[in-house]
Amino acid sequence: MKVTKVEIRLASVDRSKTRLRAFASVVIDDCLKINNIRVIEEKDKRLFISLLSVEQRVKCSSCNKKILPTDKYCSFCGASHVQNFAEQKFKNLVQFITPAISDEVKEKVVVEYKKQVNNI
C-alpha cells in the first residue's frame, strides 16, 4: 500500500490556544481516501497526526440514554453525573494495521504540511 495523494487544509485557529495545526486527507493506492486527519504540534514543536475518531458515549445510570462522558448532567433526565465520568474517551474510526503504512502517512502528511506552512 502506498499513499498516492495528500491534501492539507491549515487550521484557522489561534495557534497560542490550541495545538491543532491542520487537517489532512490522504488517498491510499488511488482508491481509499481518509479525511479529517488532524495535524497536531507538540509543545516541543514535534508534529504528530491523529486519525478520525468519535467521542464514545456512556449510559446515564438513571434513564439509560447515551450521553457524553464529560456531561455533568444528563441532557435527557437531568440526573447528576459529576462523579461518574472523569475523562473523555475517543474511539478511532480508522486504524492502520501495519507500522509501514502508518509511518508513510505520517511522513507524507508532515512533509506536505511543512510545504504549505513555508509558502505562507
Task: By CB under 5 A, name the binding residues for Zn ion.
Answer: 60, 62-63, 74, 76-77, 79
CA atoms within 13 A on the CB side of 112: 22
What distance in Å separates the CA atoms of residue 100 and residue 92, rounded to the nearest whole number?
Answer: 18
* Helices then strands, each counted (H, E), the chain: 1, 8
The beta strands (E) that lie in 13-92 are given as 20-28, 32-41, 47-50, 53-55, 58-59, 66-67, 90-92
Q: For the CB of residue 73, give the shortest distance to Zn ion in the complex, in Å.
A: 8
Q: For the CB of residue 70, give the shortest distance to Zn ion in the complex, in Å.
A: 15
Nearer Cβ to Zn ion (21/81): 81
Nearer Cβ to Zn ion (71/104): 71
Nearer Cβ to Zn ion (63/117): 63
Q: For the CB of residue 82, give the shortest distance to Zn ion in the complex, in Å.
A: 14
- What does the DSSP 8-state code read for residue 96? -
Nearer Cβ to Zn ion (54/63): 63
